[in-house]
Amino acid sequence: MASGFFAILDDIAALMDDVAVTAKLATQKTAGILGDDLAVNAEKATGFLESREIPVLMKIMKGSFINKLIIVPVVFLLQWLYEPAITIILIFGGFYLAYEGVEKIIEFIFHRSKKGHEVIEESVITDEDGEELEKSKIKSAVTTDFILSLEIVIIALASAKVGYEDLKSQFSPLLVEIVTVSIVAIIATIGVYGIVALIVRMDDAGYKIIKKSKKETGFLVSVGNFLVNALPWVIKGLAVVGTVALILVAGGIFVHNIEWIHHHFLPNINSSVREALAGIIGGLIAIPIFTLGSKALSLVKKK
């Protein structure tokens, strides 16, 4: 009985050794998209009342876990039933990311400064509909996370396959792939949202550091003031980086998954520029479609 128990432990240890190799490769391959995921979600998690920042972030993080609980089994199922379906879903997701990114750019370019009475009216509306606005932002963040999570899972799965080929594993490739992708998905969620939480609470950390200092000047006070004063600039920077990330991720999806774009769309220019242009064009195509679809949906709801 005892020998059987220790044999199971040996098998688990051997499996985790194999998974460690494939997970390391998968994490390296997904590092770029995780950086984009961090920028996008940090930007989406800001703009709330201070008392609501962490609760909102927790709701988005919960949505991200649910996304991955759906995505991981569905991706493996589609890989078995009809693998091209994964690419089709990813491309549709790319159009949504491109739409979000280009919409932000258009809003910035054509933004009109509001007059005094408009600001007051908007403030009243925000106070009255704050809960609905918060729900809307959380829904948007979770939707965007779904597409980014889908790409993370797909890249992790592809990396796990490559890593498994270099192993002399006693376990089936499917088992190693499932455990690897699951671990990467968990690390991605906790890591990304943990860093986002640190970013949105920078000012609180700064205030606490200042309070701990017994002097009005000094190193601790300087660090605290830096964290407090840096937060608005970090948030503005994240808004820019998050928008660029949306477009680049979308463009990367188009370039790597649409055959004609991969081979014929500006093949001789820098890959980042190419992906940015593909993302912008995809967003310009998606905006009228999503806008009309949104209006049609609103009309149906009113009826």
Spatial distance between the Cα atoms of 180 and 27, rounded to a whole number of angstroms: 10
Q: How confident is the model at residue 248 (pLDDT cuts 50, 70, 90)?
A: confident
Using an 8 Å Cβ cutoff, are 65 and 189 in contact? yes
Using an 8 Å Cβ cutoff, are 150 and 40 in contact? no
Q: How confident is the model at residue 191 (pLDDT cuts 50, 70, 90)?
A: confident
User: Taking 80 as the threshold, does the pLDDT of residue 265 lie above it?
Assistant: yes
User: Taking 90 as the threshold, does the pLDDT of residue 280 lie above it?
Assistant: yes
Q: Tell me, what's the pLDDT at 129? A: 57
Q: Dihedral of the CA atoms 34, 35, 40, 44 (nearest 10)?
A: 90
Please give the backbone phi and psi of residue 81, each rounded to the nearest 5 degrees, phi first: -80, -55
Domain that holds residue 123: 2-302
Spatial distance between the Cα atoms of 128 and 126, rounded to a whole number of angstroms: 5
User: Percent of the chain scored above 70 by pLDDT?
Assistant: 82
Number of domains in the chain: 1
Q: How confident is the model at residue 284 (pLDDT cuts 50, 70, 90)?
A: very high
What is residue 129's DSSP assignment?
A: T
Spatial distance between the Cα atoms of 172 and 189, rounded to a whole number of angstroms: 26
Taking each helix axis as running N to C, give the angle between helix 219-257 and helix 2-44, from 0 to 180 degrees, rounded to the nearest 10: 100
Burial 235-261 (b: 16+ CB within 10 A, else e): beebbebbbbbbbbbbbbbbbebbeeb
Question: What is the mean pLDDT of the segment spanning 167-186?
Answer: 83
Q: How confident is the model at residue 128 (pLDDT cuts 50, 70, 90)?
A: very low
Least confident of 5-19, 71-85, 197-211, 276-290: 5-19
What is residue 83's DSSP assignment?
A: T
Return the higher-pLDDT residue of 145 and 15. 145
Spatial distance between the Cα atoms of 123 and 114, rounded to a whole number of angstroms: 12
Q: Which of 38, 15, 18, 36 is nearest to 26 (CA)?
A: 18
